[in-house]
Amino acid sequence: MTFSRPARTGASNRLTRLYLSAPHMSGLESAYVDEAFRTNWLSTVGPNLVGFEAEFSEKIGRPSVALASGTAALHLALRLCGVERGDEVLCSTLTFVASANPIVYQGATPVFIDSERASWNLDPNLLEHALRTRSKKPKALMLVHIFGQSADLDPIVELCDRYGVHLIEDAAEALGASYKGRPVGAFGAVSGFSFNGNKIITTTGGGMLSARDAAWAERARFWSQQARDPGVGFAHSELGFNYRMSNVLAGIGRGQLQVLEQRVARRREVAFEYQRALEPLGGFELMPQAPWGVHTNWLSCFLVDEGELGCSRDWLIGKLAEQDIESRPVWLPMHRQKLYESCTSIGGEVADDLSRRGICLPSSSSLDTEQVARVVTALTETVKAARQNRARQAS
């Protein structure tokens, strides 16, 4: 498979920048947003909120509450699970910091668990070790479904049930993924989703909490609106938060939700286009597609073999940036963050390796084949130049 160099465009003779994961509007959103403006439902109440929650609940199969962010969803999930100051919460170490921070919001302490290589998600064997050996029973597990792929849920659910630990699914990166035919986010006591601008579908900013128990969903909705007690006055018996999504953003979400399957399909196509095109070059290995479900490939993640490529991962990222192509490393594990260096980590070697060698390539569902080809051409030419340079130095 060969690609020609794309032509440069624009007055500045610059290529249009390719972003890692850009918002992709369908056109269906405008009718809902226009209706919100026409009817003046511009606050954190309105028919789009009701509709979005109902449509999302049908998709996941659980009562759901639309919130201001995925982080807000995880924070309220921890509170629903009774996490308090002094508690321990187990957490995937290979994740974005927003998975761990809400644990600290509640005054609890995260204990990080390493990944397994089949999916890059939390290792059930290490989870069992942690649950068996911790002197203090953890209150909850923050399980992250990384980069659009489900963790191996059967053994994880069984372990949490056996040890009486609340399972929270951080599905911020994995809306549309499935595990053995069921949607991710439908297994734990509570789950959180993100609609940030870089996610598969977006409300430009926002999130969703889904709960097994309808009463828990109602409690989260109550807390998200400053926990105002019923009645005409402004009375408050519990601590609340300003976490509710706006009716305008919920309108965007309603339009986006209608094209979720198409967005997932295109992200998967992009990942496999990269895989096929980079295979002859060597040195790039696509993130595994675990056999137990559908991986959305929210981001097209590859492991690089620096010895085979003749250059480092970070050097590649820099060379792509020079050509207006955004890429980035795989997450730096939580146990390597200065913020969390005092926390316990169970394992860590797998996450360290994935973080050291992993690269995320442009993955937007709006990418066309020519744009994917541009990324492949940039990588191919960069690697060939690095190999030639290494050969010259060796001679």
CA distance 20 to 321: 11
* pLDDT number for residue 15: 61
Q: Name the residue with tokens 């305008």.
A: 248
The amino acid at 238: E
User: Six-digit token pair at 105?
Assistant: 């919001």
Taking only the tens place, the pLDDT of each residue in 202-244 is: 999 999 999 999 999 999 999 999 999 999 889 999 999 999 9
Give the CA count within 13 Å in the CB-facing half-sphere of 11. Answer: 0
CA nearest neighbour of 92 among 298, 348, 290? 348
Q: If residue 229 lies in a helix (H) or strand (E), which one and from where to where?
A: none
Cβ neighbours of 69 (radius 10 Å)? 21
1, pLDDT greater than 70: no
* pLDDT number for residue 198: 97
* pLDDT number for residue 392: 85
* pLDDT number for residue 390: 85
Taking only the tens place, the pLDDT of each residue in 192-206 is: 999 999 999 999 999
Taking only the tens place, the pLDDT of each residue in 9-37 is: 443 335 699 999 999 999 999 999 999 99
Mean pLDDT of 328-335: 98
Taking only the tens place, the pLDDT of each residue in 284-307 is: 999 999 999 999 999 999 999 999
Taking only the tens place, the pLDDT of each residue in 338-383 is: 999 999 999 999 999 999 999 999 999 999 999 999 999 999 999 9
| DSSP bridge partners of 304 | 284
CA distance 325 to 38: 40
Q: What percent of the chain has pLDDT above 70? A: 96
2, pLDDT greater than 70: no
* pLDDT number for residue 391: 82
Mean pLDDT over all residues of the chain? 95
Cβ neighbours of 15 (radius 10 Å)? 17
* pLDDT number for residue 389: 86
394, pLDDT greater than 90: no
Residue 80 DSSP symbol: H
Taking only the tens place, the pLDDT of each residue in 102-141 is: 999 999 999 999 999 999 999 999 999 999 999 999 999 9
95, pLDDT greater than 70: yes
pTM value?
Answer: 0.94
Reported as a pLDDT band with limits 50, 70 and 90, residue 282 is: very high
